[in-house]
Each structure stands twice: as C-alpha cells, then as structure tokens.
C-alpha cells in the first residue's frame, strides 16, 4: 500500500440531481461515505478533510425553458462547487467533488482550469463515462444539463455557464480524453467529429484493450500536467454498477476499470477528481458505492504489490 506523501484530500459533497433525468443522485455523497470512502483514503496515508455537503436549491422538476432544464438552479449549484474546489486547490489540497449529477463538472473543472492556467500547468481531463455529454441546448433531446457539461467547458454551452475559468473555453478540445463511451446522440457524433475530440469508445477498448487505450489517453502527461479525472459511475458496466440513472449495457469490466485507475495513479499527476451520477435510489445494497470506493482507492495508488 502506498502512503499519502503528505497530500491532503478534500471531500466536497454536492448533493443534487439538478441536471439529471431521474431523481436520486443527490444521495450520492452520503452513499460514498456510508461505503467508507473517507476511511479508505485515510488508510492509504492521506490526510482526509471531509468538508460535508454544500447547500443549494431543491430540484423543481419543471420542464425545460429554451432547451435547458433548471438553468438557474444548475448555475447556483455550480457556483458553490466552483468556490469549494477553488478554495481546496488554493490551499494545495486535492479536491474530490462527490456528486450529484455530471452537470457539476462545469463548476469543478472550471475552477481546476483557472488554477492550472495560473500555475502555467497543462491540463488533461480524463472523462470516464458511457456518454459523451457534449449536447447543447439546441441538440439535447431532454434539456437535462448533465448531458452538456463538456460543451459548456469547451465554450459552446449557454453563455451563463461558460467562461468561468477566465477564458471562454475552460478546456481546449485536445485537453480531454473520453473513456468507455457507448451512447452518443446523433448530433453529438457530429460535434465530436467537428470539434476533433479524442474519444476512446467501447469498440476501441474491445479492439485494443484497456492497457493500450490508457497508454494513448495518458500520452504526454508529464511533470507540468495537472490531471483531472471526471468519473461518471455509468461508465461501468451496469452488472457491477446498477446504481446509476442512465445505465448502458456493455461497459468496462471491474478488472478493466481497475487497470484504468491504476494507470492513472502511475502518472503521479492526479490533482483533482469528480465522482458523479451515483444514484442510491436505484442501487442494490449500496454495491455501486462500494465498487466506486474500491476504484477510487486504486485511482489514488492502492495496488496489490509494491511496484
């Protein structure tokens, strides 16, 4: 087992389903705590500060307006997330934003991008997901903002949700790598091609294996890189992770995901994490939260042998 090398991890709960299609993701942070996340990371030698849960507006479950659902509330939650992640990074801590649905990555990654730019670091985001989350208010079939965070971060979302990092785009198109993708809407396919996004879909993993895939995804990650992992639990196959709102068959296996996490840990450059879309209302005896905790342990360097 590794030791934490003096690193302080900060857990930031964002208990909301404000951008989701089904209810329940707001219980995600506490399910991760029940599954023992803080204790597991402390056992690895990290100092773990659990900041508790942020507060924000309730989810009204109203219909979309101009193609966007719950926009005001999404902004409010993301402002809180931005502020908490900004504070954590400002004190040299590694923030773990516990969602909540994936729209919260707008606030989280905008704060990360601002800090990376200030420190003249390259930013690399690894987006672990079944979906590419690159819809916009004009292409989204549902208006749910958890399907649009990537567009917002690339500067193509609604103006009120872009530019938070100090630049119109928090991320350049080549700063993000998608892993595990297997559900892409027709217009998203077009966007992926037009924007030139690097998407390692399930077929790529089938054909080349997780090892080659992650070697490609982590290429050029070096000393001067801030690595951010945005971990949507629906990336996992629903057989091992049933507790998600929008599960899609045919995801990576438990072992493939462990290898993915270990290879990220091996870079030594992990600087911030989102863990999102855990939906305890749809889970079975908290097993998805438990699998998440095991994978997060690997992400932070737990391995079977000393390597």
What are the catalytic residues?
102, 129, 131, 133, 146, 232, 234, 277
Q: Which 83-102 residues touch Mn ion, going by CB under 5 A?
A: 102
Nearer to Mn ion, 21 or 44 (CB): 21
- Nearest CA to 232 out of 125, 152, 88 is that of 125
Nearer to Mn ion, 69 or 102 (CB): 102
Token pair 């005896």 is found at 285
Are 130 and 232 contacting, i.e. CB atoms less than 8 angstroms apart?
A: yes
**Rounded least distance, CB 124 to Mn ion, Å:** 18
**Rounded least distance, CB 255 to Mn ion, Å:** 22
Peptide bond into 100 cis (omega under 30): yes
Backbone angles phi, psi at 107, to 5 degrees: -70, -45
Tally Cβ neighbours within 10 Å of residue 215: 12
Among 118-126, 128-136, 158-166, 252-260, which window interacts with Mn ion (CB under 5 A)?
128-136
Among 39-47, 121-129, 237-245, 286-294, which window interacts with Mn ion (CB under 5 A)?
121-129
Nearer to Mn ion, 238 or 301 (CB): 238
Q: Which 161-180 residues touch Mn ion, going by CB under 5 A?
A: none
The long-range contacts involving 151-158, CB below 8 angstroms and separated by at least 24 positions, are 151/191, 152/106, 153/105, 153/106, 153/109, 153/110, 153/113, 154/195, 157/106, 158/68, 158/71
**Rounded least distance, CB 133 to Mn ion, Å:** 5
Among 39-47, 111-119, 123-131, 218-226, which window interacts with Mn ion (CB under 5 A)?
123-131
Please, which residues have CB within 8 angstroms of residue 196's CB and are 6 or more apart in sequence? 173, 174
Nearer to Mn ion, 232 or 290 (CB): 232
Q: Which 237-296 residues touch Mn ion, going by CB under 5 A?
A: none
**Across the strands, what pairs with 48?**
9
Nearer to Mn ion, 73 or 232 (CB): 232
**Rounded least distance, CB 223 to Mn ion, Å:** 29
Q: Does 129 bind Mn ion (CB under 5 A)?
A: yes
Helix (H) or strand (E) holding 50: strand 47-53
Q: Which two tokens stand for residue 90?
A: 């400002």
Q: x/- string (CB under 5 A) for Mn ion, residues 130-149?
A: ---x----------------
Strand order in the sheet with 225-232: 47-53, 8-14, 94-99, 270-276, 225-232, 122-128, 176-181, 198-201
**Rounded least distance, CB 235 to Mn ion, Å:** 8
Among 58-66, 179-187, 232-240, 252-260, which window interacts with Mn ion (CB under 5 A)?
232-240
Are 9 and 46 contacting, i.e. CB atoms less than 8 angstroms apart?
A: yes
- Nearest CA to 187 out of 160, 158, 156 is that of 156
Nearer to Mn ion, 53 or 230 (CB): 230
**Rounded least distance, CB 10 to Mn ion, Å:** 22
Nearer to Mn ion, 133 or 256 (CB): 133
**Rounded least distance, CB 44 to Mn ion, Å:** 26
- Nearest CA to 251 out of 178, 179, 185 is that of 179
What is the distance between the alpha carbons of residues 268 and 238, in angstroms, rounded to a whole number? Answer: 29
Count of residues engaged in binding Mn ion, rule: CB under 5 A: 4
The contact set with Mn ion (CB under 5 A) reads: 102, 129, 133, 232
């Amino acid at each position: 087992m590794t030791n934490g090398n003096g690193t302080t991890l900060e857990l930031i709960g964002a208990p909301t389903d404000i951008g989701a299609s089904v209810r329940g993701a707001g219980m995600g942070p506490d399910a991760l705590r029940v599954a023992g996340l803080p204790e597991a990371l402390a056992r690895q030698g990290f100092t773990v500060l659990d900041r508790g849960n942020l507060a924000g507006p309730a989810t009204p479950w109203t219909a979309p307006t101009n193609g966007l659902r719950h926009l005001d509330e999404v902004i409010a939650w993301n402002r809180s997330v931005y502020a908490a992640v900004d504070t954590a990074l400002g004190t040299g801590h590694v923030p773990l934003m516990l969602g909540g649905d994936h729209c919260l990555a707008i606030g989280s990654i905008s704060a990360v991008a601002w800090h990376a730019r200030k420190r003249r670091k390259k930013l690399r985001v690894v987006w672990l997901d079944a979906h590419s989350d690159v819809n916009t208010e004009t292409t989204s079939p549902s208006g749910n903002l958890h399907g649009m965070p990537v567009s917002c971060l690339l500067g193509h979302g609604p103006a009120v949700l872009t530019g938070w990092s100090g630049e119109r785009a928090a991320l350049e198109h080549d700063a993000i790598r998608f892993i595990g993708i297997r559900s892409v809407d027709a217009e998203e396919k077009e966007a992926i091609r037009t924007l030139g996004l690097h998407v390692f879909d399930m077929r790529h993993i089938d054909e080349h294996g997780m090892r080659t895939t992650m070697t490609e995804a982590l290429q050029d990650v070096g000393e001067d890189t801030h690595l951010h992992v945005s971990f949507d639990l629906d990336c996992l196959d629903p057989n091992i992770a049933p507790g998600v709102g929008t599960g899609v068959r045919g995801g990576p296996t438990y072992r493939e995901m462990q290898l993915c996490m270990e290879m990220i840990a091996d870079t030594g450059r992990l600087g911030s994490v989102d863990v999102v879309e855990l939906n305890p209302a749809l889970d079975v005896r908290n097993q998805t939260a438990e699998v998440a905790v095991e994978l997060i342990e690997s992400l932070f360097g737990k391995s079977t042998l000393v390597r």
